[in-house]
Amino acid sequence: MDKKFKIFVGLTLLALGMVFEPLKDLMNSATRGDYYSHIVLIPLVSAYLFFQNRKDIFSKPGPIYPFALALSAFGAALYIFGSYYVARLNQNDYASLLTFSAIVFWAGGFVLLYGIRGFQKASFPILFLVFMIPIPGLIMDKIIYALQVGSTEASEVLFNLTGVPFQREGFVFHLPGISIEVAEQCSGIRSTLALFITSILAGHFFLDRFWKKIVLALIVFPVTVFKNSIRIMTLSLLGAYVDERWLTESSLHHSGGFVFFIPALGLLGLALWALRKYRNEDRSKGEKVQGTRFKEQK
């Protein structure tokens, strides 16, 4: 283990120490702690990606750039600022600021040690750490609202298709004997984050074009909305025509999101397969054209 790598390991442990307390407190909170259960896995996945490409990343470090020191200094200053103004931030935004600053500090240190060339080779695992940063409250509220609106609209379409009599008032559906509200808890934000992170990883490993990776990531929103609407309709019909306790006491309502997450993951896998197939068809067509040209030349 060379000296640079030892410093890199120490820098990594220091950065993890910087974010441990704010992230632990956020994940243990009763308000939005459930939204961030994925955070624990992010550094593990990034570490695996580093280990997988360790020879390319650490073998031939490029020249050191002075701006990397400025980047680390900026991250450290931002961390001190966030720690000092903790009283002015809510728990979510406090953890978001400190995690962002720690990652900037760590990334600057990495570039200082291994240069831009090392950063280019390790760009994906470094940038993947962005998913450790809790989403600022203002942005999170807008995402949840968009999911609420999309899920409500899709649920209305499904209710119309099934022929179930209902009336809608905003986010509330009035069915025979019951009323269903598409609340924030029904937005599917946790599964959306899980699917989005999965799409980023799948695109990195299995897709060769940047535009295909973007398409796969964008597909997550309609897939999540469709999954939410299926869940809302299923619980609503069970509550209206079988037993109202399906909406209050059933595990399908309180913790059954995983049941509907699997088909959503399947839809995402189908989209990935289609994008890969499109690439293969392009290649086969190109090979046929090249073969035809070769025959003509003969």
Backbone angles phi, psi at 10, to 5 degrees: -65, -40
Residues 193, 155, single domain; the answer is: yes
Residues 267, 149, single domain; the answer is: yes
Q: Where among 104, 132, 160 does a domain terminate?
A: 132
If you average pLDDT over residues 154-173, what whole number do you get?
90
Residues 127, 184, single domain; the answer is: no
Q: Tell me the two tokens of residue 231.
A: 């869940």
Residues 80, 112, single domain; the answer is: yes
Residues 233, 175, single domain; the answer is: yes
In total, how many domains does the chain have? 2
Q: Where among 132, 159, 188 does a domain terminate?
A: 132
Question: pLDDT value at position 289?
Answer: 47
The domain in which residue 20 lies consists of 3-132
The closest of 234, 231, 219, 206 to 265, measured between CA atoms, is 219
Q: Which residue has the higher pLDDT, 180 or 48?
A: 48
Q: What's the pTM? A: 0.85
Residues 252, 112, single domain; the answer is: no
pLDDT tens-digit readout, 196-229: 999 999 999 999 899 999 999 999 999 999 999 9
Residues 68, 21, single domain; the answer is: yes
pLDDT of residue 135 exceeding 60: yes
Residues 73, 144, single domain; the answer is: no
pLDDT tens-digit readout, 7-61: 899 999 999 999 999 999 998 886 777 788 889 999 999 999 999 988 888 877 6
Q: Where among 132, 164, 187 does a domain terminate?
A: 132
Q: Which residue has the higher pLDDT, 57 or 74?
A: 74
71's CB contacts (< 8 A; 6+ apart) are 104, 105, 107, 108, 111
Residues 105, 143, single domain; the answer is: no
pLDDT of residue 287 exceeding 60: no
Q: Tell me the two tokens of residue 82.
A: 């966030």
pLDDT tens-digit readout, 232-266: 888 888 888 887 777 776 766 666 677 788 899 99
